[in-house]
Structure 1
Amino acid sequence: MVRRPRLPGEPYRAPVKKSQVKSPQFASGKKKSPLRVVIISGLSGSGKTVALRAVEDLNFFCVDNLPLSLIDSLVSRLSRNAAERDIAIGIDIREMEFFSANVDRVISTLKERYRLEVLFLEADTQVLIRRFKETRRPHPLGGDLEAAIQSERQRLEPFKQNADRVIDTSSYSPHQLRDFISSIYGSGARTKDLVVTLTSFGFKYGVPENIDLLFDVRFLPNPFFVPALKDRNGTDKLTAEYVMNNPDARAFMKKTMDLLKFLLPRYRREGKSYLSIAIGCTGGNHRSPAIVEEIARLIGEKLVVNVIHRDIS
């Protein structure tokens, strides 16, 4: 290389070797790629395929069954593409052997370089058993189904501990899960808004898992004992009017909305991404669905709201 002569009075500058020049993107070692990377994992039968298809519809670049060791090279290659897209990567028990011993280190390293989020899906054992029987598909670990599920749950525990979001899909239909994932990673997630899931349920069928706030409305008169309303549910106009016209229901709604007006801005301020609220009555068919629909109506204009009526017959 030919260098020009130093002019009189000009300070001396030592020549810089090409190997000493750092890439602008990682010169500090701390600047992250602008791409968002979501790793979707969890128990077999918990809905990973549904979740992956949901984010694919949001224009994510999706790859399934990719070992963690290859994520860095994949994202590096995609980050050089002018048309940047968020990336979603599905990982299940079949790939765990590649990194199970180093999952903490691998996830930590990836989070240093990328806007990485780990989503982990799970469900109750009995729900998973029912889903496998309905689809007639074998469990990836083979053998006795219940034993395979328990084994998978134990082997994936280190991955679950590294997850940013853990979602129990026991009470979700595929359509409901798809809508929920879309609300998290769609427009609501990009503005870092709070996603609220409202679930009605019947105590006689058990309390939903992973609930942040739970309210019991069994103190309200039960439309089940009104002949004209017995065969209707809480989403029906007549049933909803019967429930909401009760003075105790109106007082409950006022106090509950005052509580939510206090809590929701503070949850958002603390960076909470989503909030799960459950409303329960005896059978989950009349009172709790009516209350859920009313709360959804009142807060739905300002927040992303998902409604699940778990036990409506």
Structure 2
Amino acid sequence: MAEAETPENGHHIVIVSGPAGSGRSTAIRALEDLGFEAIDNLPLSFLPRLFASPVPRPVVVGIDPRNREFALDRLSCAMSEIEQSVGQAPVLVYLDCDAQTLVQRYSETRRRHPLSPHESPLVGIEREIALLAPLREQADVLIDTRTMTPHELKAELSLQFGDDEARSGLAITLQSFSYKRGLPRGADMVIDVRFLKNPHWMPSLRPLDGRNARVSAFVEADPDYAGFYARLEDLLSFLLPAYRAEGKSYFCVGIGCTGGQHRSVSVVEALAKSLAAKGWQVSIRHRELERTTGDVAPVPGMGVA
């Protein structure tokens, strides 16, 4: 059999596992952004067949106990078959997280745990951690996500599996938020734009958000906007190269206003376009818009965190 093309870093096949809520979906999406073909929760009987013929690019497969065929011995056999077929052992990435943190995450999302749909999340979490304990011991890469934000997890995976350009870059996230709901977790810098005139008090603009051209025009017409925005760009132009030179792989800037709908969103959108035009890797997130509509449109050419 012809050997499939292998990335320069040697990681050809990655299997991601860990308890529900530990960040498995985030990890799979992060690897997909790095050029991996992503497959989540594939039945274990199909896993060896996936690699029966040459694979043109690296693959990440998510495996967890929701799978009706899940069994540790079956997974071990499948990984052995893959190694024999491809000539390279899969890299097992295990996302570790303590029960208390997982309970907190489930309380925030109000989801039922897949292993305890009619009981408390804690019951399912403890069952899953015990079930996956042997897999954790076998992991090639063990990542403790208990204090990690999604952006930090993405940055860690980029360091582990990205190419030289990804490892040497600085991923920037710009996040709009409402001060009424508290500061965003994991923000490296927070900017308050509540001094700008608020479109909320304009009846025609209130139903819109900061991505709308009319709202942006209103915000930018504030006499204080131009001076503030120029100074903010200058500050980031100075800081970002310095952080990159220091080896920092991610940087999150929170832009906050009263409701997180108009001024902060408008500033994030403008700043994201400006930084992307200068060659920075930028993602945007509008926290309050996600809460209300789940609809966050990315800036062209950029991802959404």
Relative to the length of structure 1, the TM-score reads 0.58
Partner Cα distance (2:26, 2:189) in 1:
26
CA contact 1:221–1:243 (8 Å) conserved in 2: yes
Is residue 29–residue 38 contact of structure 2 (8 Å, CA) maintained in 1? no
Q: Which residue of 2 aligns with 1:147?
A: 122
Structure 2 counterpart of 1:309, which letter?
A: H
User: What is the correspondence of 1:1-313 to structure 2 with a 5 Å cutoff?
Assistant: 34-35=10-11, 40-41=16-17, 43-45=19-21, 48-49=24-25, 51-52=27-28, 55=31, 58-60=35-37, 85-88=57-60, 90=62, 120=95, 125=103, 128-129=106-107, 131=109, 133=111, 138-140=113-115, 144-148=119-123, 151=126, 162-163=142-143, 167-169=148-150, 189-190=162-163, 191-192=165-166, 193-301=169-277, 302-312=279-289, 313=292
CA contact (8 A) 2:190 2:254 kept: yes
Aligned residues: 242
Q: Secondary structure at the match of 2:143?
A: coil
Take 1:153 and 1:138, find their aligned partners in 2: how far apart are those partners?
Answer: 10
SS of equivalent residue, structure 2 residue 211: coil
Which runs of no fewer than 5 residues in structure 2 stay unpaired?
1-7, 73-88, 293-305
In 2 relative to 1, CA 63–310 (structure 1 residues): closer, same or farther, beyond 3 Å? Answer: closer
Deviations for 1:138-188, whole angstroms, at most 9, x for unmatched residues? 4336674343477589989x99x952877535xx9xxxxxxx969x86xxx
The whole-number CA distance in structure 1 between the counterparts of 2:102 and 2:225 is 33
Q: Distance in 2 between matches of 1:121 and 1:219?
A: 42
Q: Compare 216-225 and 266-275 and name the one that shifted more.
A: 266-275
What residue in structure 2 maps to residue 5 of structure 1?
none
Q: CA distance change for structure 1 residues 129 and 216 in 2, over 3 Å: closer, same or farther?
A: same
Cα RMSD (Å): 4.8
User: So what's the TM-score if we normalise by structure 2?
Assistant: 0.59
Q: Measure how far apart 1:265 and its partner are.
A: 1.1
* Residue aligning to 2:299: none
Distance in 2 between residues matched to 1:38 and 1:141, nearest whole Å: 28
Q: Deviations over 1:121-154 (max 9, x none)?
A: 9888565346464xxx543366743434775899
In 2, are the aligned partners of 1:200 and 1:309 still within 8 Å (CA)?
yes
Q: Distance in 2 between matches of 1:280 and 1:216?
A: 5
The aligned residue for residue 83 of structure 2 is none
Residue by residue over 1:199-238, the C-alpha shift from the partner in whole angstroms, topping out at 9 and shown as x without a partner, is 1111112222122221121122211112222222111111
Which sections of structure 1, spanning at least 5 residues, go unmatched? 1-31, 67-73, 99-113, 173-179
Larger radius of gyration: 1
Give a deviation string over 1:58-101, Cα, whole Å, max 9, x none: 344768699xxxxxxx9xxx9xx98674353546589xx98xxx
Provide the C-alpha distance between the structure 2 equivalents of 1:128 and 1:44, rounded to a whole number of angstroms. Answer: 9
Secondary structure of 1:311's match?
A: helix
**Aligned residue type for 1:147:** L
Secondary structure of 2:210's counterpart equals: coil
